[in-house]
Amino acid sequence: MSAASALAAPPAPIRLLDLPAQHAAIQAELDAALQHVMHTGDFIQGPDVEQFAQELGAYLGGAYVVPCANGTDALQLALMSLELQPGDEIIVPAFTYVATAEAAAILGLRPVPAEVDPRMFTLDAAATEAAITLRTRAILAVHLYGQCADLTALRGVANRHGLALIEDNAQAIGATWQGADGQLVAAGTVGEVGTTSFFPSKNLGCLGDGGALLTRDAARAAHLYELANHGQARGRKYVHQRIGLNSRLDTLQAALLRVKLRHLGAWTAARQQVAAQYDAALGTVPGLQIPARQAGSTHVFHQYTLTLASEARRDALQKHLQQHGVPSVVYYPVPVHLQPAYAYLGYRAGQFPVAEALCRTVLSLPIHPGLTPEQVAYVAAVVKTGAAE
Ligand SMILES: *Cc1c(COP(=O)(O)O)cnc(C)c1O
């Protein structure tokens, strides 16, 4: 069979993600959870919220989990818990989703972008150390696409300079990190605080907005709980210890997340299977780089992201994929320092060449637990013919 005829049509429509199919497979469990919450009427801070926090904490190897309204609030709450002064600096990767920088900026803190590793897509430890000033208070690392930034190196930088380490783990829930001592720890639980998001498209997504904070420190967990709940200590209604937010995970979402958490391990394994098939098919294709693996981290493949040789090649491949019924996305086309909203920081094009180049050359392929081997083979075949053009 020629390459052209092999590409005649996808075996079944290929989607970036397929939540309806995922939900249909566990419909009875989800329905039961939904009905239960509806009938109890306990919509805010009902028992499912705490039960979900306990279950996710256990899944993450014994971390404290403080649910909140979304992943962006989680970042803001994490920074609030550091009790910083306006103008204090937070180092963030120049290549990330904007929420990472936004959480600092909205608090009057200064997001300071730093360069990323061109193969790992995550914060470069040497560039991070070089960005430290007398005002630096924290490093906000992002586990982009589903694997950890180099946490041993970043923890080292943070410790040497007396900085907090915060992990934006919105994309890497369930990934593990193996530290220098050989111990395996869950992504999001190495820093003082980790954050995550249950936005529907995340690896563990709810049916709306949701998020959580992760920490191994009981006192910090209590502090974060207060910050997310109007500054009110657990169980002490109408007494406000501090100024906080109203940032809660709905009981309904927590109940649905409890169901989905039971399947997260299998879904992660399915994503890893898809990634392995892409790797095998695309690893030696000239003109593109398959995702590199960070030593010490597992990869939960929130995204499977290729790097092309140039912007023109990337855009041509995306067009070719589209013409053959394969959706793809550029996460993210604009680096933090060149976002219009962050012009006030005073950066110029050319200051973070790696981040800028990644914005021009990355392309994420469909990856979700419902893709069949035939669909993955089809996508890979289309990528191959597209890369050869
Ligand atoms: C999704 C995401 C967020 C924001 O989460 P929301 O729940 O949408 O607020 C923050 N950081 C990263 C890296 C993300 O992928």
Query: Buried (b) or exposed (e) across 119-154, using 16+ Cβ within 10 A?
Result: ebbbbbbebbbebbeeebbbbbbbbbbbbbbbbbbb
Q: Residue 381 sits in which domain range? A: 263-388
Percent of the chain past pLDDT 70, that is, above it, reads: 98
pLDDT at 314: 98
Ligand 1 site residues (CB inside 6 A) read 70-72, 96-97, 99-100, 142, 168, 170-171, 197, 199, 209, 211
Same domain, 46 and 142: yes
Tell me the average pLDDT across 130-159.
98
d(CA 185, CA 62): 10
183-239 pLDDT, tens digit each = 999 999 999 999 999 999 999 999 999 999 999 999 999 999 999 999 998 888 899
| pLDDT per position as a tens digit, 262-278 | 999 999 999 999 999 99
The per-residue pLDDT for range 120-138, each reduced to its tens digit, is 999 999 999 999 999 999 9
Q: In terms of domains, do 243 and 326 share one?
A: no
Q: Which residues contact 117 (CB under 8 A, 6 or more apart)?
A: 123, 124, 150, 354
Shared domain check, 173 and 33: yes
Instruction: Give the pLDDT confidence of 333-344 residue by residue, as tens digits.
Output: 999 999 999 999
Measure the CA–CA gap between 355 and 312, rounded to whole angstroms.
Answer: 17
Residue 107 and residue 101 in contact, taking contact as beta carbons nearer than 8 Å: no
Q: Which atom of ligand 1 is nearest to the CA of 73?
A: 9
Q: Tell how far the Cα of 74 is from the centroid of ligand 1, in angstroms.
A: 9
**Where does 141-289 have alpha helices with state H?**
151-161, 218-228, 251-282
Task: Find the mean pLDDT for residues 76-93.
Answer: 97
Specify if 3 maps to a domain. no
Higher per-residue pLDDT: 241 or 87: 87
Taking residues 307-329, report their average pLDDT: 97
What atom in ligand 1 is closest to the CA of residue 142?
13
384: pLDDT strictly greater than 50: yes
What is the distance in A from the centroid of ligand 1 to the CA of 170? 5
pLDDT in tens, 31-60: 999 999 999 999 999 999 999 999 999 999
pLDDT at residue 244, rounded to an integer: 96
Q: Which atom of ligand 1 is nearest to the CA of 201?
A: 1
Ligand 1, closest atom to CA 99?
10
d(CA 94, CA 162): 22
- Residues 67 and 139 placed together within one structural domain of the fold: yes
Atom 14 of ligand 1: nearest residue by CA position = 170
227 within some domain: yes
Tell me: do 230 and 203 sit in the same domain.
yes
Average pLDDT over the chain reads 96
The rounded Cα 373 to chain-centroid distance in angstroms is 25
- Assigned domain for 61 exists: yes
User: Rounded distance, CA 251 to CA 336, Å?
Assistant: 34
Pocket test for ligand 1, best of 75, 171, 173 (most atoms within 8 A of CB): 171
Predicted confidence at residue 242, as pLDDT, reads 93
Q: Whose CA is nearest to atom 12 of ligand 1?
A: 170
Same domain, 234 and 321: no
211 and 298 housed in the same domain = no
Cα separation, 81 vs 156, whole angstroms: 21
Q: Which of 77, 106, 121, 168 to mutate to test the pocket of ligand 1 (most atoms within 8 A of CB)?
A: 168
1 pLDDT exceeds 50?
no
Point out the domain boundary residue: 230, 261, 292: 261
- Closest ligand 1 atom to 198 CA: 7
In a domain, 147, yes or no: yes
CA distance 335 to 357: 9
What pLDDT was estimated at residue 389? Answer: 77
Q: Does the structure show a pLDDT above 80 at 7? A: no
- Nearest-CA neighbor of 331 among 358, 291, 353? 358
- Checking if the pLDDT of 15 tops 70, the result is yes
CB-based contact 172:120 (threshold 8 Å): no
Smallest CA-to-CA distance from 81 within 140, 31, 160 is with 140
Same domain flag for 250 and 270: no
| Amino acid of residue 280 | A
3-19 average pLDDT score: 79
Residues 203, 111 share a domain:
yes
If you measure from the C-alpha of residue 166 to the centroid of ligand 1, how many angstroms do you get, rounded to a whole number? 14
Q: What is the mean pLDDT of residues 90-110?
A: 97
In this structure, the chain runs to a length of: 389
**Rounded Cα gap, residues 157 and 159, in angstroms:** 5
Residue among 197, 209, 331 whose CB has most ligand 1 atoms within 8 A, to mutate: 197
> Does residue 272 share a domain with residue 346?
yes
The tokens for 85 are: 């002064």
With cut-offs at 50, 70 and 90, classify the pLDDT of residue 6.
low
Same domain, 109 and 226: yes
The CATH number covering residue 70 comes to 3.40.640.10
Number of domains in the chain: 2
Q: Which residue has the higher pLDDT, 299 or 11?
A: 299
Residue 182 pLDDT level (bands cut at 50, 70, 90): very high
Name the domain boundary from 201, 226, 261.
Answer: 261
User: How many C-beta neighbours within 10 Å does residue 218 have?
Assistant: 9
Question: pLDDT band at 2, cuts 50/70/90?
Answer: very low
